Amino acid sequence: MKKIFALVDCNNFYVSCERVFDPSLEGEPVIVMSNNDGCVVSRSNEVKALGIKMGVAVFEIAGQIEKHNIETFSSNYTLYADMSSRVMRTLWQFTPNMEIYSIDEAFLDLGGIDVPLGEYGRKIQETVTKWTGIPVTVGIGSTKTLAKVANYLAKRSARAKGVLDLTGSVHLETALEKTPVEKVWGIGISSAVKLKRAGIENALSLSKADSNWIRQKFGVNGLRTVYELKGDCCYELDDNPPVRKSIVVSRMFGRDVEVIEELKQAVASHVSRAGEKLRQEKLAAEVMTVYVMSSRFLKKNRYLNYYIITFTAATDDTRQMLGAAMEAVEKLYKEGVKFKRAGVVLNGLVPKDKIQLGLFGGCDKGKSESLMKVIDKINSRFGGRGLRWAAEGFEQPWQAKQNRLSKKYTTQWDELPQVR
């Protein structure tokens, strides 16, 4: 049977989430900022029309924000994650096989659907918007890469109104021709530069490029992209994503950190968060890397240092990770450095129930487990950081900026939206 993929993508997802709970933002220019209120990570169409690019620093567009009265929001990840799961739950109505590809995108297997695909796509679009308030675009193609192309064009075509089916379409070549090569899934900035230098400007000419040359210049993934554009499926729907390989918690500081006590607090709170994620997914880590760095924009005296800890047995015990991390900071700290970021990476992740016991220790396993369980339960019940480790500090003056944070409308009893 011929394969059919739909890519459903939420429009301006973070901005759309904010609009659901504040409809007065409809039609107004809105941006959502990254952590530390640093960069633009989501823009409404009105903001895109002003020529404000994805990822620019907020301070660089301060003038435009003022001039055009742009509403700004800090990232409210709790809200977005909850809205995402509502969207995904809705999408499950339309297919037995779905791959949740990111917080705002999913690939749906539409093989075997016996109504016209365009109509079906429209139905998906209308239902998601009606049930969740989030507007979405649906692109349909015979490979994932072509579904992406369809989605890209559906967003830009007035006639498509957010739904485009390219399967068996006589317009496929025209569609590929209208797609700039840098918009093709898998072609990033550096490949795009190389391709254009070779005269390949759009998806159509990429699909006709010489395989040997592509393989040599862009590796196996480049070749797969070309095949996919031709309609040869290289990427299957992955509806059972593999267990992840790493957990990263890293943040910039709201201001420079120069004393070791504050650096330790920041690392401790990252470790604490990483431990929560670990236990949430029923994993344990064999290796932990702690790193600290100055601003990466410094011209000189840039500083980056990391320290790798290998545990004698995989662990999910925050206390054990904290102890090791605090020693690491002692080794990484350097007087006179203006630290701007710290991070914790967990690797060697194994399912919790398959931990290889170390030769030493491990005798209070039961105690550790119940302690972690209680802490996680209290924190999830009261929405966040009700219980903190002493090492995380109390004032936390280094915390990232979040000056424009909206409420946790859907996950926090005392922040529910009110109807008057």
Which tokens is 414 given? 């005392």
Candidates 2, 26, 27, 59: give the one binding DNA (CB under 7 A): 59
Q: Judged by CB under 7 A, does residue 251 bind DNA? A: yes
Please give the Cα distance from 10 to 4 (Å, whole number).
20
- Per-residue contact track with DNA, 70 to 109, x per CB under 7 A? -------------------------------xxxxx----
Q: Judged by CB under 7 A, does residue 384 bind DNA? A: no
Q: Judged by CB under 7 A, does residue 400 bind DNA? A: yes
Q: Judged by CB under 7 A, does residue 343 bind DNA? A: yes
Whether the CA torsion 374, 375, 381, 382 is positive or negative: it is: positive
Q: Judged by CB under 7 A, does residue 280 bind DNA? A: no
Q: What is the C-alpha end-to-end distance of the chain, expressed in Å?
A: 54
365-374 burial code (b ≥16 CB/10 A, e <16): eeebeeebee
Shortest CB 56 distance to DNA, Å: 8
CB within 8 Å of 157: residues ≥ 6 apart: 164
Candidates 246, 280, 380, 403: give the one binding DNA (CB under 7 A): 246
Whether the CA torsion 366, 370, 373, 379 is positive or negative: it is: negative
Please give the Cα distance from 237 to 251 (Å, whole number).
33
Q: Where are the beta strands (DSSP E) in 159-260?
A: 163-165, 247-257
Q: Judged by CB under 7 A, does residue 404 bind DNA? A: no
Which residue's CB is nearer to DNA, number 97 or number 250?
A: 250
Residues composing the chain: 420
Q: Judged by CB under 7 A, does residue 19 bind DNA? A: no
Shortest CB 94 distance to DNA, Å: 19
- Where does this chain touch DNA (CB under 7 A) — which range of 170-178, 241-249, 363-371, 408-416? 241-249
Where do contacts with DNA occur on this chain (CB under 7 A)? 34-36, 38-39, 41, 55, 57, 59, 101-105, 148, 184-192, 219-221, 242, 244-252, 277, 295, 297, 340-341, 343, 400
